[in-house]
Amino acid sequence: MYAFLRSVILAATGAALVVVLSFTAIAQVSKKESAGSVSGRVTLGGSPLARVSVVLTLSQMGPMRRSSAIKGTTDEDGRYRITGVPAGIYTVWPFVPALVIPPETSSNQPGKSITLREDEEVDGIDFSLTRGGVITGRVTDADGRPIIDNFVNLIRLDERGQRMADPYFNQFRFATDDRGIYRIYGLAPGRYKVSVGDAPDSGMTRFGFGGGTYSRTFHPDIADESRAPAIEVKAGGETADIDIKLGRASKSYIATGRIVDAETGKPLANLQIGHGSISRDQTSLGGFGWTGIRSTAIGEFRIDGLAPGRYAAFVLAVDQVDFYSEPAVFEVTDSDVRGIEIKVRQGSSIIGQAAIEGASDPGTLLQISNLELRAFVRTEQLSAPTISPIRINPDGSFVITGLRPGKVRIMLGGFPPPKGFTLLRVEREGVELRDGIDISAGERLSGVRVVIGYGTGVIRGDIKLQNGQLPPDARLRVTVRRLDSQGPTTESTGVDVRGRFTFEGLVAGEYELVLRIMQVMPPSVPGGPPPPGIGPPKVLAKQNITISNGNDTDVTLVVDLGAKEKEDK
């Protein structure tokens, strides 16, 4: 799942990924050359910015798709034009890391979101940039020695001194060099706090780290975030000598044990070991992962580099197997932990058949073997994570193995999500199972039918806002939910800078369209506690629509922000 080229960090909020841009052409979606284009002007302080790359990337699939991009270059007047762009949802931004690019995307990343329709020419996508500020300093240990190759964390503050939703900051981009010196550039003017290390209550699990970890420390040498001084950054300015002195590295510990068959007590060899921190409510894993550790010929395993905390170790199946493991909970305090026993039990299984509805084209029907399912067992107890995909055979048959007793939910899996395919319902002997499938220990259940819909319907929407403006930390998001199916058929997309949104590959049927205003979440700090919560998103508009295959449905949602403000009061 993860490439441990450097130390991999998994937190309760998910995996933090380092994204590397490569400017390769986006594959065309049709045989004919697209006539679509995006153009605009890039300025710095009102003056044209020449010979700057402007990057356009597909944004439907999130940051991982940023590895495919089209780029243009500004001329002497700061103007650019990117041509041959197929219809799609894109993020556009000038690639100038030392300058500040305003965030106008639904994910609060720098740049602007654009929903481009077939052969559409969009002009006026302009960028007014400002010079970025710099924070630089040196990180040392308790003996004054440089801390080398350690990531530096940054928090931006609002006028009240609270964390604010700053444009995307890649924590893994800035690290100390061989002298312990760091330099963070391209910062928007404002106030910041800088830290290095991990908070003890972060719920973080580190993999690939040895030799201990450092407690989270803010400049200059303060552990408490609330007491750390704010650092002022000015446009184009450099704030230097923001040094951090860390304490002693905490000792790391080792956990050892073995994997056994729960029925016979016999050791089990060559099984993949995973482990993770336990959440504060003790019912789930705050973060988990694995490093290639497998049990030995006599079932023994060893986990290195553990900081004090509560953990669970388990067998992690990346493919379908006929067993499941019970998580072995253990706690690290001030010594190594021995004698951990992971028990493995024979799992239950489901035999079923998948079928595609709404498609008559043989090519589409043949795609069933390219789809995959996922199965999750709902439980209130701590359980090992399920990540193994379920393959569908060309004839539609499938087998799910290694299930623990409980209520099984089947979902349509895969990344990226299969375009045009939607889980409609799960049946057994003609009865729809909306609440999942009950399965007992050791049961081999058959007669399950998974119905997958295929659709080519499209929604193209426009948002019209009247009598007001959105707050600067707010974003619009649209969800569409199919009303007459069992599966998790809600899709979501952001609204671009022109108030447009698009949904494609929808199965024919009745849908509910909902427009919400969402506050951008303040950033979490690697190694720190989660950020303060924000209120639930507010519904601005709802509309039911009917979708048919092969047709585009145009929708306009008009929102009176003035009336909404009166309702809230």
CATH number of the domain that residue 280 is part of: 2.60.40.10
Q: Does the structure show a pLDDT above 90 at 140?
A: yes
Lowest mean pLDDT among 45-54, 166-175, 207-216, 409-418: 207-216
Asked if residue 55 is part of any domain, the answer here is: yes
- From the CB of residue 127, how many other CB atoms can be counted at a distance below 10 Å? 26
- From the CB of residue 484, how many other CB atoms can be counted at a distance below 10 Å? 11
- Residue 524's pLDDT is 56
More confident residue, 250 or 338: 338
Q: How confident is the model at residue 397 (pLDDT cuts 50, 70, 90)?
A: very high
| Cβ 49 vs Cβ 42: under 8 Å | yes
Task: Give the CA radius of gyration of the chain.
Answer: 26
Q: What is the pLDDT of residues 541-568, one digit of tens each?
A: 999 999 999 899 999 999 998 876 656 6
- Residue 1's pLDDT is 30
Q: How confident is the model at residue 281 (pLDDT cuts 50, 70, 90)?
A: low
Same domain, 77 and 105: yes
- Residue 259's pLDDT is 97
Same domain, 19 and 115: yes
Place of tokens 């305003």: 102
- pTM of the predicted protein model: 0.77
| Number of domains observed in the structure of the chain | 5
Lowest mean pLDDT among 96-105, 246-255, 312-321, 358-367: 358-367
Q: Is 183 helix (H, G, I), strand (E, B) or coil?
A: strand
Q: What is the pLDDT of residues 193-234, one digit of tens each?
A: 999 987 655 555 555 455 557 888 999 999 998 899 999 999
Q: Tell me the two tokens of residue 437.
A: 């499938």
Same domain, 342 and 353: no
Q: What is the pLDDT of residues 508-530, one digit of tens each?
A: 999 999 999 887 665 555 555 55
Same domain, 152 and 102: no
Q: Is 536 helix (H, G, I), strand (E, B) or coil?
A: coil
Q: What is the pLDDT of residues 444-467, one digit of tens each?
A: 999 999 999 899 999 999 999 998
Average pLDDT for 3-12: 31
Lowest mean pLDDT among 43-47, 162-166, 267-271, 506-510: 162-166
Asked if residue 395 is part of any domain, the answer here is: yes
- Residue 178's pLDDT is 95
Closest CA to 104 of 115, 112, 94: 112
| Cβ 259 vs Cβ 299: under 8 Å | yes
Asked if residue 50 is part of any domain, the answer here is: yes
Same domain, 193 and 270: no
- 14: domain range? 8-131
Closest CA to 392 of 358, 362, 418, 368: 368
Asked if residue 1 is part of any domain, the answer here is: no
- From the CB of residue 415, how many other CB atoms can be counted at a distance below 10 Å? 10
Alpha-carbon distances, residue 495 vs 118, 254, 460, 555 (angstroms): 18, 49, 11, 13
Same domain, 267 and 304: yes
Q: Which of 192, 221, 245 is the last residue of a domain?
A: 245
Q: Which of 200, 215, 245 is the last residue of a domain?
A: 245
Same domain, 447 and 400: yes
Q: Tell me the two tokens of residue 231.
A: 């650092």
Q: Which of 294, 316, 346 is the last residue of a domain?
A: 346
Listed in sequence order, the DSSP H helices in 317-374 are: 362-366
- Residue 547's pLDDT is 93
Exposed, middle or buried by CB within 10 Å (0-12, 13-18, 19+), for 297? exposed
Residues 6+ apart with CB under 8 A from 41: 48, 74, 77, 78, 79, 80, 126, 127
Highest mean predicted confidence (pLDDT) among 182-191, 464-473, 520-529 = 182-191
Lowest mean pLDDT among 5-19, 219-233, 287-301, 484-498: 5-19
Asked if residue 90 is part of any domain, the answer here is: yes
Cα four-point dihedral sign 176, 182, 188, 193:
positive
Asked if residue 301 is part of any domain, the answer here is: yes
Asked if residue 3 is part of any domain, the answer here is: no
Highest mean predicted confidence (pLDDT) among 169-173, 279-283, 315-319 = 315-319
Same domain, 19 and 112: yes
Q: Does the structure show a pLDDT above 80 at 534?
A: no
Average pLDDT of the chain is 83
Asked if residue 169 is part of any domain, the answer here is: yes
Same domain, 445 and 366: yes
Q: Whole-angstrom Cα distance, residue 428 to residue 333?
A: 49
Residue 152 sits in a domain whose CATH number is: 2.60.40.1120
Average pLDDT for 9-34: 37
Q: Whole-angstrom Cα distance, residue 168 to residue 150?
A: 20
3-state helix, strand, coil in the chain (%, to 5): 5, 50, 45
Same domain, 463 and 448: no
Q: Whole-angstrom Cα distance, residue 385 to residue 560?
A: 45
Q: Does the structure show a pLDDT above 60 at 4?
A: no
Highest mean predicted confidence (pLDDT) among 6-10, 410-414, 433-437 = 433-437
Highest mean predicted confidence (pLDDT) among 98-107, 143-152, 272-281 = 143-152
- Residue 7's pLDDT is 32
Same domain, 217 and 332: no
- Residue 3's pLDDT is 30
Q: Does the structure show a pLDDT above 60 at 70?
A: yes
Same domain, 338 and 385: no
